[in-house]
Structure 1
Amino acid sequence: MTHRSVPAVLAAVALPVVLLSAWSGPAVADGTGAPAYRITELPSLGGSISTATGVNDRGWITGSSTLAGDRITHAALWRSGRVTDLGTLGGDNSAAVFSSHSNRFVVGVAETAAVNPDGEDWSCSVFFAAAASHHDCVGFVWQDGRMRPLPTLGGHNGFAAGSNRRGDIVGWAENGRLDPTCSGTQIRQFRAVRWDARTHRAHELPPLPGDSTSAATAINDRGDAVGISGACGFAVGGVSAAHAVRWDADGTPHDLGRIGGVQWNTPVAINERGLITGFANVPGGATPASFYPNAFAWSPRSGIRTLGTLPGDVLSEGLGLNDHGQIVGESCQAHLANCRAVLIEDGHMTALRPQAGTPLTLLDADDINDQGTIAGTARHGASTVAYAAEPVGPR
């Protein structure tokens, strides 16, 4: 779906817990009136690469971390500064990739022990540290110490992206059909999926008329979901994101429009008021397939509009959103280089920076909950680390 990097027999596993031991200190805004935050570096699972991608109302932070050696990636859950390894479904790797807002469980993707008979490298391989393994990869739900697989639409692979407070989950999954619009190693068609809260049964969310594939990234408590519609492509965006889509609770898709580009039109978050954020190409890339996005916001009243970049930057992404309308993401000075975490309020974009003298450089802000806590990724020396940012002082 996005650029971000980030036969199973299910059994209970021992889950290691690591105490918070890294730097924690205050952060200040850049003089533009943005709130101050206390930044906490979150511990890894032993490796030097961690990413935080979601934060729920309880302050649980989800994402992924490499194990020692940085060749294996596991989904991770941070609670009260402690990290839990969520394991896998029989393969080496797993990850929690998008913002997931359930207060009871975690969703993500995990490799199984089965090697894909078609030699496909599914969407999840983009978010793992090691080279693609050609193993099947499916969506998971982790709760009470156990990881369980989510059903596909009849194919080998699936992807669980987001969840709401009611327990509904959305993502995408193969349906087993060959699709001539696929490219690379991808050959099977995929469609957006909503797994219901009670039974986790898979319900297809159709693409827009004329498109062959779709994928869903987020869902609010009213059952409205967002995602993409287009051609099969690599199952990681591009032509698959020809259109940004919102699905009604009954599954009817609606085109959200564009901000200029014909690919990478990708909503990633929707709140209870129906406000949507994400990223979409603007004119200026070397080719239509080039990843050249700006963050956008969409509302029922105003439609879609670009949120621009920080001064001097060339691209940006909206990555998270809360019910107060605060948007977080990143703004970059070059193509996915020299990126900075940003907060967007009332259309104004502000860089988030730790206090002078601290060791962290905030690379992105991936999610924000209704209490204003932000989860994201930072650089600390040669390591990539997950962080939590909690607002301090009056709002």
Structure 2
Amino acid sequence: MDGVGPPGDRGTGQDSWQLTDLELLPGGRHGWALGVNDDGAVVGKSETADGARHAVLWRDGRITDLGTLGGSNSVACDVNRHGVVVGTSETAGGARHAFIWRDGQMVDLGGPGSLGGTLVCATAINDRGWVVGSGMTAKGRVHAFVWWAGEIIDLGTLVPGVDQSSHAFDVNDRGRIVGDATVDTMNTVPVMWEDGRIHQLTDLTGQSIAISSRGQAVICANPECFIWSPDDLTTISPDEGPMVFRAQGIDRPDRGSRFVQVEGIGGEGRVVGWNARLAFIWHRGEFEWLPGLSTGQAQAMAISDQGRFVAGTSASAPDGLAPHPVVWTKRHDGRAT
């Protein structure tokens, strides 16, 4: 489906990206695309005819319902190059459990493990099969975990103490895991786990939500986002944002239009996210604005490691702000690859 994007040539993704509106489950009206791999397989969730939301996988534009762990709702958060999917599902008893889906079967990871409680959500999986996420300890605190080949490891916290917590959001193939951890009972800081050790990335209050195959991490510390590397911290700032919004006819004050939410990072350091109502790719200080469906409004949620595919959502008339799952495919010589 053709998309609508910000007018003008500079910083516009209309000519370089093909937008595809992804299929929904039968009877569903809305959906969300949240993860994508280098083969273009996309994962997320779709509404069903009865209003539930199921984890789904799109391959070659065709949708597969991954089902649930017995409850009504589930969501798929990530997929690796082998097509293995991870996410979260409700159980028959109404609890939320992490799952891994492979060979056509959803497997419950949420049972009691080394955390002492349950694994609540699986947020990412690398190509080696490491699954990361967050779970509950026996004392009711949230701790980051890594699961591999049936073994669960509690990643612990930055500050010792039973009242501290942590979350893991992403993992790369080198085994570097990023997330956040509390420094008191309320505030969190971006952290990385490497070789079994946790360390704080910056003094900023916030979280690290994604990491590239080369070890660059994305940090969001309201109201700004950054790319972290061992030698640098680069601000992602939409200096051209207000101009784009005025061109779109969107009534948004300049201060609001300068806000960015970053969601993912590819191997070459390309960052994806959204600026109020527009999806973007940011690389080396330049914004590329991605086309949306009929309303032009979109959010980019994930980018494949090689940067050929971006997954996200876009609003389509007559739904207004209601989301549809979409994938953007990089064009070369006028053709999608």
TM-aligned CA distance change 1:393 to 1:58, over 3 Å: closer
Match of 1:391, SS?
strand
Does residue 252 (structure 1) correspond to residue 197 (structure 2)? The answer is yes
Does residue 305 (structure 1) correspond to residue 234 (structure 2)? The answer is yes
- Tell me the residue number matched to 1:31: 9
1:28 positional shift: 6.5
Q: Is the 8 A contact 2:218 2:226 kept in 1?
A: yes
Does residue 105 (structure 1) correspond to residue 76 (structure 2)? The answer is no
Q: Is the 8 A contact 1:88 1:110 kept in 2?
A: yes
Write the letter of the residue equivalent to 2:28. G
Write the letter of the residue equivalent to 2:31. S
Does residue 226 (structure 1) correspond to residue 178 (structure 2)? The answer is yes
Match of residue 302, structure 2, among 358, 367, 370: 367
- Tell me the residue number matched to 2:247: none
The 2-side partners of 1:267 and 1:253 are apart by 13
Deviations 1:230-271 (A, max 9, x none): 1797xxxxx3x61111110x2211111145xx3xx1222111
- Tell me the residue number matched to 1:351: 289
TM-aligned CA distance change 1:393 to 1:28, over 3 Å: farther
Q: Is the 8 A contact 1:105 1:143 kept in 2?
A: yes
Does residue 324 (structure 1) correspond to residue 268 (structure 2)? The answer is yes
Match of residue 208, structure 1, among 158, 165, 171: 158
- Tell me the residue number matched to 2:251: none
The 2-side partners of 1:330 and 1:113 are apart by 35
Match of 1:86, SS?
strand
The 2-side partners of 1:254 and 1:366 are apart by 26
1:88 positional shift: 0.4
Match of residue 168, structure 1, among 130, 149, 162: 130
The 2-side partners of 1:59 and 1:38 are apart by 13
Write the letter of the residue equivalent to 2:237. G
Q: Is the 8 A contact 1:57 1:103 kept in 2?
A: no
Does residue 57 (structure 1) correspond to residue 33 (structure 2)? The answer is no
Does residue 384 (structure 1) correspond to residue 314 (structure 2)? The answer is no
Write the letter of the residue equivalent to 1:76. V
Q: Is the 8 A contact 2:296 2:315 kept in 1?
A: yes
Write the letter of the residue equivalent to 1:305. T
Match of 2:129, SS?
coil
Write the letter of the residue equivalent to 2:103. D
Please tell me the root mean square deviation across aligned C-alpha atoms, in Å: 2.2
1:33 positional shift: 4.6
- Tell me the residue number matched to 2:103: 144
The 1-side partners of 2:275 and 2:203 are apart by 19
Does residue 79 (structure 1) correspond to residue 31 (structure 2)? The answer is no
Write the letter of the residue equivalent to 1:386. P
Write the letter of the residue equivalent to 2:315. R
The 1-side partners of 2:68 and 2:153 are apart by 24
The 2-side partners of 1:231 and 1:155 are apart by 22
1:217 positional shift: 0.5
Write the letter of the residue equivalent to 1:246. M
1:319 positional shift: 0.7
Structure 2 matches for 1:177-188, cutoff 5 A?
177=139, 188=140
Q: Is the 8 A contact 1:207 1:253 kept in 2?
A: yes
Write the letter of the residue equivalent to 1:89. L
TM-score by length of 2: 0.84
TM-score by length of 1: 0.72
The 1-side partners of 2:64 and 2:166 are apart by 32
The 1-side partners of 2:47 and 2:231 are apart by 43
1:209 positional shift: 2.0
Q: Is the 8 A contact 1:213 1:232 kept in 2?
A: no
Match of 1:274, SS?
coil
1:111 positional shift: 0.7
- Tell me the residue number matched to 2:143: 191
Match of 1:341, SS?
strand
**Relative contact order (alpha carbons < 8 A, sep ≥ 6): 1 or 2 greater?**
2
1:157 positional shift: 4.7
Match of residue 48, structure 1, among 20, 25, 29: 29
1:324 positional shift: 1.2
1:314 positional shift: 4.3
Match of 1:94, SS?
strand
The 2-side partners of 1:389 and 1:222 are apart by 27
Deviations 1:84-143 (A, max 9, x none): 11100011110023x4434231000001112xxxxxxxxxxxxxxxxxxxx211110011
The 2-side partners of 1:278 and 1:362 are apart by 24
1:223 positional shift: 0.2
Structure 2 matches for 1:235-274, cutoff 5 A?
239=186, 242-248=188-194, 250-259=195-204, 262=205, 265-274=206-215
Deviations 1:46-102 (A, max 9, x none): 3222010110112110001111243x11111100010111100011110023x4434
Does residue 90 (structure 1) correspond to residue 42 (structure 2)? The answer is no
TM-aligned CA distance change 1:359 to 1:69, over 3 Å: farther
Structure 2 matches for 1:113-132, cutoff 5 A?
113-114=92-93
Flag structure 2 segments of 5+ consecutive residues without an equivalent.
Answer: 243-253
* Matched-pair identity in %: 32
Match of 1:361, SS?
coil
